[in-house]
Amino acid sequence: MDTIDNSVCDLFVFVCGIIRFKCVGMAYFLCEDNKMDDKNLVEKQVSSKVIYDGFVLHVREDVIELPNGEPASRELIKHIGAVCVIPVTKEGNVIMERQYRYPVSRVITEIPAGKLDSANEDRFEAVKRELREETGLTADNWRDLGEYLPAPAYSDERISMYLATGLHKGEQDLDEDEFLEVFEVPLKDLYEDVMSGKICDGKTQIAILKAYEILKDTI
Amino acid sequence: MDTIDNSVCDLFVFVCGIIRFKCVGMAYFLCEDNKMDDKNLVEKQVSSKVIYDGFVLHVREDVIELPNGEPASRELIKHIGAVCVIPVTKEGNVIMERQYRYPVSRVITEIPAGKLDSANEDRFEAVKRELREETGLTADNWRDLGEYLPAPAYSDERISMYLATGLHKGEQDLDEDEFLEVFEVPLKDLYEDVMSGKICDGKTQIAILKAYEILKDTI
């Protein structure tokens, strides 16, 4: 009887292992875990219509089933994904960018960032590439700052955030249609600018607040 | 001669006043100021094409002129704008929500938030409405936490962020197609979850980091 119980137990552990492996393999997001009792919140896809298939934006209009069984529509953007990095010098300064953002009709202050080159591009390789292209910098030390969903109500974009230190200067290598100014600001000043509402870009606010929290006792 | 000079001067001041008034009136963003020397970064609209005019998303494909005079295209979303609020109880707990976000196919943890009802809706009125509808709460004290551009590379959405304290319970009043769970978590725990990458929603990360910085000595 013990033997059977042990076998059943082993089988159970084995199956759990497979399920766990599959879940980990399927896990799109590193942050947060969904719960077993989420069925009272989940929306199911009924149909999906491609509205626009652009270079950056891929727009869909889906019919879904609400948790109460009623139909509803959802408009959404499919986005390839992106990375961003807050590069901090040994003096405690951040290498920042000023860039014109056409949708908001103004130049804004941002940390280096960019889209993935392909959907399966390694995000760490992508962020090293973006940092080098936009600022000429390479870095000895990288720290994962987590993920950022800019607008989960209507976009599946996921931005991976990094902190880079141990910086080395090199040559900038911008895309043909990329125009930006690179400049250096003390992290402490940027932290104060975020707290007083002077920096409006989302990923930049988070990266500054997190980096300041991590580095404040060393700069 | 003095009289003429004074008249010219008065006219100059008057014209400057009009320009200033128009600029202030046109100022879309409270954060950041554009500089006079930004013409080496600015992109000019050449033409604009409406791709999709949905309920939430309005997609455009514009031809623009780059700072070097070359043409390029820009794909963008026009969004009505939104508000969000981090409501903190006198015990130092935050009233949070779990909500299914269809574009990312998962339930995520967020602070109360919502779109404006109309483009010219007062943002402070909107946030009071959203807090009451989603959680039943009203608040005695409100603090402006600044603005948040979720994705300025492709969306003009601007989210105004607030901190609410002095909370009073009331009746939740959700939209017909809105399903969410409301729960309470210590701000300190949420701060640790943001720092360790467990919270992935952008506006929620910022609001928690800012609110913790503001309230940490009082909770």
C-alpha to C-alpha distance for B51 and B63, rounded to whole angstroms = 13
Token couple for B62: 């514009």
Quick one: CA torsion of B2, B5, B6, B12, rounded to 10 degrees? -170
CB A156 within 8 A of CB A184: no
Chain B: residue whose CA lies nearest to A71: B177
Tell which of A80, A86, A145, A155 to mutate to test the B interface (max B CBs under 10 Å): A155
For residue A13, the distance in angstroms to the closest alpha carbon of chain B comes to 26
β-sheet bridge partners, residue A47 = A63
In the predicted model, what is the mean pLDDT of chain A?
A: 88
Q: Which amino acid is at B174?
A: L
Interface touch A41/B67, C-beta < 8 Å: no
**Phi, psi dihedrals of residue B115, rounded to the nearest 5°:** -75, 160
Q: Stretch B36-48: mean pLDDT, rounded?
A: 89
Confidence of residue A30 (pLDDT cuts 50, 70, 90): low
For residue A172, the distance in angstroms to the closest alpha carbon of chain B comes to 16
C-alpha to C-alpha distance for A18 and A33, rounded to whole angstroms = 18
Residue B35 pLDDT: 67
Interface touch A107/B38, C-beta < 8 Å: yes
Token couple for A149: 């969903």
Residue A69 pLDDT: 94
| Three-class secondary structure of residue B200 per DSSP | coil
Interface touch B75/A66, C-beta < 8 Å: no
Residue B63, number of CB atoms within 10 A of its CB: 13
Beta strand B71-78 with A71-78 is: unpaired
Q: Distance of alpha carbon B58 from its chain centroid, rounded?
A: 18
Residue B217 pLDDT: 94
Give the active site residues of A: 176
Confidence of residue B34 (pLDDT cuts 50, 70, 90): low
β-sheet bridge partners, residue B141 = B165
Over 80: is that where the pLDDT of B25 sits?
A: no
Residue B164, number of CB atoms within 10 A of its CB: 24
Residue A34 pLDDT: 65
Tell which of A96, A104, A175 to mutate to test the B interface (max B CBs under 10 Å): A104
Residues of A in contact with B38 (CB under 8 A): 98, 100, 107
Using alpha carbons, list the distances in angstroms from residue A34 to A30, A41, A64, A149, A184. 11, 11, 20, 16, 40
Q: Which amino acid is at B128?
A: K
pLDDT single digits (tens) A166-181: 999 999 998 888 899 9
Interface touch A62/B28, C-beta < 8 Å: no
Over 50: is that where the pLDDT of A3 sits?
A: no
Homologous superfamily assigned to B82-215: Nucleoside Triphosphate Pyrophosphohydrolase (3.90.79.10)
Residue A177 pLDDT: 82
Q: Stretch A84-107: mean pLDDT, rounded?
A: 97
Token couple for A135: 């600022």
β-sheet bridge partners, residue B74 = B62
Interface touch B103/A210, C-beta < 8 Å: no
Residue pairs between chains A and B whose CB atoms are closer than 8 Å: 244
What SS3 string covers chain A?
A: CHHHHHHHHHHHHHHHHHHHHHHHHHCCCCCCCCCCCHHHCCCEEEEEEEEEECCCCEEEEEEEECCCCCEEEEEEEECCCEEEEEEECCCCEEEEEEEEEHHHCEEEEECCEEECCCCCCCHHHHHHHHHHHHHCCEEEEEEEEEEEECCCCCECCCEEEEEEEEEECCCCCCCCCCCEEEEEEEHHHHHHHHHCCCCCEHHHHHHHHHHHHHHCCCC
Report ipTM for this prediction: 0.85
Interface touch B213/A210, C-beta < 8 Å: no
Chain B: residue whose CA lies nearest to A31: B198
**For chain A, which residues make up each domain, given as ranges?**
1-30, 33-78, 82-215
Q: Stretch B105-117: mean pLDDT, rounded?
A: 96
Over 80: is that where the pLDDT of B30 sits?
A: no
C-alpha to C-alpha distance for B104 and A43, rounded to whole angstroms = 11
Tell which of B47, B79, B106, B203 to mutate to test the A interface (max A CBs under 10 Å): B106
CB A134 within 8 A of CB A112: yes
